[in-house]
Structure 1
Amino acid sequence: MVRILLAAGHGAGPAHNRGAIYFNEGDNNYIYSLELKKELETYENIKVDLLRKNITDDPTLADRAKAGQGYDLYLSIHSNATTNDDVRGTEVWDSVEKPNVTLAKLICDATAEVFNHRNRGVKYKEGQKGYNWYGELRFNQAKSAMIVENGFHTNKEDCLFFKDSHKKIAEIQARAIASYYSLKKKAIKEDKPHWAEEHYNNLKSRINITDKRFDDKITRGEAMALVDKALDYIEKGGK
């Protein structure tokens, strides 16, 4: 069983906007995490949890790092910012302490492709020698921990695409993660027709019934009405 913790970056509301043009970054990160969770759960042998279970949750960086314990992947969801509104692109900040460049590159490549913008690549940033500069990655106990920057929310194209394309991006990122862990899609259950459907269709053309409550209990009154309609049909010679 692969265990993944999705950590939507920042908190809720205008205080966590951080320069985004079309959304509050913290809100959008949270809403996207719901979509990515949903998409990841279309695969077998996976357990996906949310660090921010409610949109108003805003755990500290230290608490975020501690939360990674017991997970195969801690994926922090963000969008990027710069003072130059022409800058676009995806980048992934992988853990200095527990690097997983293969998975980080899969996520980065797939995300840049779906955004159709520059692939800024997998990056590493140290604080003290050998330790992550980013607080939520520092001492993170997940087997792999990384931050994905889904475009630049200070760029109109990137910001609007991220806001309006949650499902499309989630499908691509989930597929990249699933390929790394060799996860297969769950079988789609086909809805089989109810065993009584054929009888209903036969009766409908003869005695004008319209109720499809196949598994409900029938009342005495409903039984009388059904028998009365059937007898009336017989007495009229099947007309």
Structure 2
Amino acid sequence: MKLYLDPGHGGSDPGAQGNGINEKDIVLDIARHLRDILSSDYKNVDVMMSRSNDRTKGLQERTNEANSWGADYYLSIHCNAFNGSAQGYEDYIHSSLSDSSQTAAYQDIMHDEITNVNELRNRGQKKANFHVLRETAMSALLTENGFIDNEHDAALLKSPSWRREVAQGHVNGLARAFNLERKQDDPSTIFRIIAGSFEARANANERVAFLSSEGIDAFVDSITISGKLWHRVQAGAFSTRENAENHLNTVKNAGIEDAYIVSESS
């Protein structure tokens, strides 16, 4: 399966703006997570990104590239803005397509999986005459992941763990829609549950104490990222992703909703 992954805007075009953040930065982060999850977890998936950094790229250049490459699916990632009061998630296919089309069937699956995890108001499945939906030779979907100028949605958009979760929702949809096959776990890979990452050691210790009160073993693992020391709370390590995901649900059910999995080679 060949996926053309298109984080909207970029470079001189910031996209929607609000609450101190730019659309171009939010959607790039979601798209990078999406690419990385697909690459690490699924077989026979090729991903081409319209941009993997903050650069300017025209709409025609994007669709021409996808068409020339022969992509099987075009996925464009965006977030919205209106007047500060609108909020929620919606997605689009081209307005010329019927509800019985293959593209609409893909949209049904993608919408179901993304709204299952994104904690946003569901604004529904829609159609529009957007360039990236009209000029693509393959099925295409454009997702609008919250309103950047809405205080509720922006609080989610600012959360790194939320952006990872939304990326995972997109991946779940792609896996269902295209019957993607998961890779077998590499015996050398360890899947760690991260239940918080803090600049202050005291905050990390507080999280460990809370998890202990919920019957979940955890400890603080300090790590340097980009020259900055972080105190990471680890709440389990597993040799299979399935077991890690099961324990992740336990940690989230205890109230740590921003917990996530990192995979590391031993």
- Same-fold status (TM-score > 0.5): yes
In 2, are the aligned partners of 1:105 and 1:121 still within 8 Å (CA)?
no
Partner of 2:167: 170
Superposition deviation, residue 97 in structure 1: 4.9
Partner of 2:252: none
Deviation sequence 1:12-38 (CA, Å, 0-9, x none): 36x515233242111221122111101
Q: 1:15-26 residue pairs with structure 2 within 5 A?
A: 16-26=14-24
The answer to which structure has the higher strand fraction is: 2
- 2: CA distance, partners of 1:40 / 1:144: 19
AA paired with 1:146? L
> What residue ranges of structure 1 are gaps of 5+ in the alignment?
126-132, 193-239
- 2: CA distance, partners of 1:54 / 1:161: 22
The alignment covers a number of residue pairs equal to 180
Which residue of the other structure, out of 106, 112, 115, is the alignment partner of 2:115?
112
Cα-Cα RMSD: 1.9
Percent identity reads 27
Deviation sequence 1:92-114 (CA, Å, 0-9, x none): 11123565112112222322232
Q: 1:9-88 residue pairs with structure 2 within 5 A?
A: 9-12=8-11, 16-41=14-39, 42-56=41-55, 58-69=56-67, 70-83=70-83, 85-88=84-87
Q: TM-score, normalised by structure 1?
A: 0.69
> What residue ranges of structure 2 are gaps of 5+ in the alignment?
190-266
AA paired with 1:90? Y
The answer to whether the aligner puts 1:144 opposite 2:139 as a matched pair is: yes
Superposition deviation, residue 168 in structure 1: 1.2
State which structure, 1 or 2, has the greater radius of gyration over its C-alpha atoms: 1
In 2, are the aligned partners of 1:22 and 1:160 still within 8 Å (CA)?
no
Q: Which runs of 4+ in 1 moved over 6 A?
A: none
- 2: CA distance, partners of 1:72 / 1:163: 31
- 1: CA distance, partners of 2:107 / 2:53: 27
Partner of 2:260: none
**Greater relative contact order structure (CA < 8 Å, 6+ sep):** 1
